[in-house]
């Protein structure tokens, strides 16, 4: 029933947008109209058929590429149409309001105005179709260019209790790799090369190595195992790493998938922290690295146990927490752990869409998360939210490029 309901909504969108398309086709030849109308109605059917076929595909790689096609097809076909629907809906509401106020029949859409080269209906139809052009172009650019347009983001954080040996230490952060979404391995390698070119002293990965299953990472082990730093690479899990978004034949199969994930981190040389803490030592001085399993406020999974992860770290002069979901910061860290100096998170992806100009930042992500991208501070505590290395759902990024974070810690 849910599937049929979604199909009905999509058909309504297609039908609504078809009205201005039909108006603009009237001046074309009958042959052109026939083929144009066929294309218009066949295009949205293709990803729906692919979605049905997807349910019966057993081969993992085939299923993955079909999933790319489905998500990309729906995104490119319907997101631009939504802009047209909004424009048409506003126009229709205004028209009905005028009709109600004047208690008169609606104006004839096809009556030529004096000196006007097109009818009012044609004008409205052209504007409606043009309203979809900009988002369609942006989405296309976001897939072709934005998906792998890696950007280095630098911030300096001053911590009063930072040991002298750590003054000036350079931290590299990766988050939300989502190997199951990649379609350009060479571009991914380019992003890692750019990151390693920054020569961070220590690297933290803050979760979501895969989308649905650990096997997604297999063909990228060779790339991400190159992520090395003098003081090591430390990692935690994200909400996608547990296999919760896949169907498993048994609980045992799901548990094995998570064990395989742990093995993948080990194979890449990452020290996966599962509700535990370890010292990071330089010249005889140490700070604490605390790693917690995924914990998110609201509907997301609460696998992590911060009290367990924190236990034994009390004596470290500076503590850095790796926690995938930034909602964890205000929910538990701020009220209960005042001596955790810096939290590193990801998860939001910056919605993979937004506008960032100078100090101005906007993204739909901000309506779901108070801390959704970059550096935040409350009292003497900081959180940095990485915008993500990869992508999921829409196979691209618009105005929110993938991020390689470099943080410098300074005493002060």
| CATH 3.60.21.10 domain range(s) in the chain | 148-411
pTM, full prediction: 0.78
DSSP character string of 128-152? HHHHHHHHHHHHHHHHHTGGG--EE
Q: Tell me the C-alpha distance between 146 and 138, whole Å.
A: 9
So what's the pLDDT on residue 52?
A: 76
Band of residue 113 on the pLDDT scale cut at 50, 70, 90: very low
| Residue 250 clears pLDDT 80, i.e. is over it | yes
3-state SS assignment for residue 183: coil
So what's the pLDDT on residue 112?
A: 44
Percentage of the chain lying above the pLDDT 70 cut: 83
Percentage of the chain lying above the pLDDT 90 cut: 61
User: In this structure, which topology does domain 148-411 adopt according to CATH?
Assistant: Purple Acid Phosphatase; chain A, domain 2 (3.60.21)
Least trusted range by pLDDT, from 133-142, 171-180, 321-330 = 133-142
| Residue 114 clears pLDDT 60, i.e. is over it | no
How does the average pLDDT of the chain come out, rounded?
Answer: 87
Closest CA to 401 of 355, 366, 345: 355
Q: Tell me the C-alpha distance between 347 and 35, whole Å.
A: 44
**Which tens digits make up the pLDDT trace of 264-281?**
999 999 999 999 999 999
Q: At what angle do helices 30-42 and 2-25 cross, to 10 degrees?
A: 160
Band of residue 125 on the pLDDT scale cut at 50, 70, 90: low
Per-residue pLDDT averaged across 155-184, rounded? Answer: 97
Band of residue 91 on the pLDDT scale cut at 50, 70, 90: low
So what's the pLDDT on residue 50?
A: 75
Band of residue 153 on the pLDDT scale cut at 50, 70, 90: very high
Per-residue pLDDT averaged across 44-53, rounded? Answer: 77
| Residue 84 clears pLDDT 80, i.e. is over it | no
The token pair that represents 52 in the structure block: 């049905």
Per-residue pLDDT averaged across 399-410, rounded? Answer: 98
């Amino acid at each position: 029933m849910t599937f049929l309901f979604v199909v009905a909504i999509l058909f309504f969108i297609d039908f609504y947008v078809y009205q201005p398309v039909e108006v603009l086709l009237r001046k074309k030849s009958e042959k052109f109209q026939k083929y144009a109308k066929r294309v218009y109605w066949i295009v949205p059917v293709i990803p729906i058929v692919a979605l049905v076929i997807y349910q019966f595909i057993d081969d993992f790689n085939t299923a993955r590429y079909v999933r790319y096609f489905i998500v990309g097809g729906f995104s490119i076909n319907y997101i631009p149409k939504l802009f047209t629907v909004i424009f048409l809906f506003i126009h229709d509401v205004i028209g009905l309001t005028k009709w109600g106020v004047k208690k008169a029949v609606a104006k004839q859409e096809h009556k030529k105005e004096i000196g006007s080269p097109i009818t009012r209906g044609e004008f409205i139809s052209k504007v409606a179709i043009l309203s979809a052009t900009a988002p369609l172009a942006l989405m296309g650019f976001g897939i072709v260019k934005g998906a792998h347009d890696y950007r280095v983001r630098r911030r300096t954080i001053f911590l009063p209790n930072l040991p002298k040996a750590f003054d000036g230490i350079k931290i590299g952060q990766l988050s939300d790799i989502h190997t199951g979404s990649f379609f350009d391995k060479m571009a991914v390698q380019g992003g890692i090369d750019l990151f390693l070119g920054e020569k961070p002293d220590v690297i933290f990965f803050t979760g979501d190595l895969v989308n649905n299953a650990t096997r997604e990472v297999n063909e990228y082990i060779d790339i991400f195992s190159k992520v090395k730093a003098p003081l090591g690479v430390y990692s935690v899990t994200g909400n996608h790493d547990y296999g919760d978004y896949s169907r498993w034949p048994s609980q045992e199969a799901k548990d094995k998938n998570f064990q395989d994930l742990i093995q993948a981190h080990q194979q890449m040389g990452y020290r996966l922290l599962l509700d535990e803490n370890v010292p990071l030592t330089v010249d005889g001085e140490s700070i604490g690295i605390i790693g917690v399993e995924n914990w998110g406020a609201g509907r997301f999974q609460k696998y992590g146990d911060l009290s367990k992860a924190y236990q034994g770290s009390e004596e470290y002069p500076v503590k850095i927490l790796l926690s995938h979901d930034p909602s964890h910061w205000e929910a538990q860290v701020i009220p209960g752990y005042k001596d955790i100096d810096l939290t590193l998170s990801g998860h939001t992806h910056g919605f993979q869409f937004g506008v960032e100009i100078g100090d101005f930042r906007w993204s739909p992500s901000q309506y779901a998360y108070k801390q959704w991208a970059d550096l935040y501070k409350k009292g003497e505590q900081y959180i940095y939210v990485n915008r993500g290395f990869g992508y999921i759902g829409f196979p691209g990024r618009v105005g929110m490029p993938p991020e390689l974070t470099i943080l410098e810690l300074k005493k002060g």
